[in-house]
Amino acid sequence: MLFIIGPLLRLLLLASPQTLGDALRDAELRDSIALTIVTATLATLLAALLGVPLAYLLARRSFPGHRIIQGIVDLPVVIPHPVAGIALLLFLGRRSPVGSVLAQFGLEFVSHVPGIVAAMLFVSAPILVSGAREAFRGVDPQLERVARTLGDTAWSAFRRVTLPLAGRGILAGSILAWARSISEFGSIVILTYNPKVASIFIFDRFTAFGLPAAVPAAVILLLVALAVFLLVRLLQPEDRR
C-alpha cells in the first residue's frame, strides 16, 4: 500500500500552483499533451468501432475459431512494449509491403502521428474488447428474444436493449483503453519518437535536463490518470465494485 501511495504522494506534493502554472506556460508541453489526448482518443474510437462488434460476437455466438480469435485479441497484453514497437515498425515501415501500400495513400506511420495511433491501438484494443465482451456477457440474452417477440428486428433489439444495458461497461472499458493509450511509452518510442507524446516528452526532458525539468509534465500526466481512474470507478455498477 505504502509502496503505491508513497511515490505518487511525493510527486503530487510537488504540484504547487506555481509548478503547474509553469508547466502550462511551456508551449512544448502543452502541444505534447494535446497530441497525446488527440491520438489516444483516435485510437480509442478506432478500437471501439472495430472492437465492440467483435466483443459482441465473442460474447454471444459460438463459431469455429472462437477460441483462436479470443487468443489473438488477448495476445498484445503479454508482448513487451518495445517488442510490439519493433514488430509494428517492421509491419508498417515504408519498406514493408503493407507500409509501402499505405504510404501511397499518404498514410505514413514511422515518425508520424498515425504511428502513435497505431501503437496505442495495438496495446489498448485488447482492454476495450475484453471490457466490452464482459459487458455484453452481463446482459441476459433472453432480453433480446423478448424484444424480438415485441416486434424488434435483431438490430433494433441490440440497439434498444443490449447496447444500453452494456453501455456503462463498454464506456468503462473504453476509458481504460484510453488511459492505457495515454500511458503508452515503449512501443511509441520506437515507432514515433517525434512528434512527442507526453510520456516521451517526460523521458526526453529527464534525459536532457534532469529531474526538475521532468517533474511538471509528470504531475500533469499523473492528474489526468487519477481523473480517469475516478471516472471508471464511478461508472462501475455498485455490486461489482
Residues near other proteins (CB under 8 A): 140, 142-143, 145-154, 160-161, 164-165
Please, which residue, 83 or 154, has the CB nearer to other proteins? 154
Using alpha carbons, select from 122, 135, 138 the residue that is nearest to residue 74: 122
- What's the alpha-carbon Rg for the chain, to the nearest Å? 20
- State the cell numbers at 175: 476509458
Cβ 148 to other proteins shortest distance, Å: 4
Report the residue number, 11 or 163, with the smaller CB distance to other proteins.
163
Element (H, E) at 113: helix 113-137
**Min CB(160)–other proteins separation in Å:** 8
Q: How far apart are CA 75 and CA 60, in angstroms?
A: 21
Which residue number, 123 or 161, has a Cβ lying nearer to other proteins? 161
Least distance to other proteins, CB of residue 66, Å: 16
DSSP label of 111 = T
- The number of beta carbons lying within 10 Å of the beta carbon of residue 213 is 15
Q: How far is the CB of 154 from other proteins (least distance, A)?
A: 8
Closer residue to other proteins, CB minimum distance, 72 or 154: 154
Question: Closest approach of Cβ 70 to other proteins, in Å?
Answer: 21
Rounded CA separation 51/24 (Å): 35
Burial class (CB in 10 A: 0-12, 13-18, 19+), 238: exposed
**Residue nearer to other proteins on the CB measure, 25 or 145:** 145
